A = this chain, B = another copy of it.
Amino acid sequence: MDAKVRLYVDQPLGRGQAVAVGPDQANYLFAVMRLAPGAGVLLFNGRDGEWLARVADAGKRRGVLLCEAQTRPLLAPPDLWLLFAPVRKERTQFIVEKAVELGVARLVPVTTRYTQSERWRHDKHVAHVIEAAEQCGATFVPDLAGVQPLAQVLKGWPDGRELFWADEALAGQSGAMGSSALTGVIAAPAAILVGPEGGFSEEEKALLRGLPFVRPMRLGPRILRAETAAVAALVLWQAAAGDWR
């Protein structure tokens, strides 16, 4: 493979398909990466798999790439959502990046009682999702929902989707709410919920415990940071019920 660059584009991909390139991507491809006509680029759009394309026209502010051959089919993730409370900046980026790598269909940022409320910059996080997909070789790009209060997301919860609640309070406990991490995990459609650094409030815990679609999930005997809990829960779910089986 002679392609050094892997790029997300929001255009159809297929044999012989011409893909127009706008100012930002033209700058990156032709000025930063110095790709000349004939150079290979890997493209994906989240729907048509990954394609090898060649530079057909390299302008200062625009260009054209021509799709040559599919290099990878689309690998769609299971219908798994990740609900997470935004934490500190790099750690939120980390949750987003790892969720893309591990394979989720939808990311749902939720605010909770103890969420550190920096402003949620949706556009920036959409860019993180795309960047993570570009860098890890993903052919699918998870949907990023707008940020909403947890209670509101739970209120409009869709039928038939179980919600696995990675409950920090279960660390070190056994029995009762503390079902083992790998038992009772069921297949898609499903969702995982991880809280903020401060955990959930008593009110939120009571709400979660009372909902029929919520299942507490235990993640070992140690206290995990929010982003570690997110990754651990995704890995366990993927291995037990998802496409890692």
- A-side residues, CB < 8 A to B, are 75, 94, 98, 101-103, 135-138, 172, 180-182, 218-225, 228, 231-232, 235-236, 238-240, 242-245
Contacts and interface: CB of A to CB of B under 8 A. Distances in A.
B232 A220 contact: no
Contacts of A224: 101-102, 136
Given A102-B232, A220-B238, A232-B231, A136 B225 contact: yes
A102 B222 contact: yes
Contact of A235 (B101, B218, B232): B232
Contacts of A182: 239-240
Given A228-B98, A235-B231, A235-B236, A103 B244 contact: no
Given A231-B235, A235-B231, A239-B236, A101 B225 contact: yes
B220 A181 contact: no
A100 B98 CA distance: 18
A242 B219 CA distance: 12
Given A181-B239, A182-B239, A239-B236, A244 B228 contact: no
A209 to B, nearest CB: 22
A47 to B, nearest CB: 17
A223 B101 CA distance: 7
A217 to B, nearest CB: 11
Contacts of A245: 180
A240 B236 CA distance: 10
Contacts of A222: 75, 101-103, 136-138
Contact of A220 (B102, B172, B219): B102
Given A94-B94, A136-B224, 10 more contacts: A75-B172, A98-B228, A103-B222, A136-B225, A137-B223, A220-B238, A220-B242, A235-B236, A236-B239, A239-B239
A95 to B, nearest CB: 12
Nearest to A224: B101
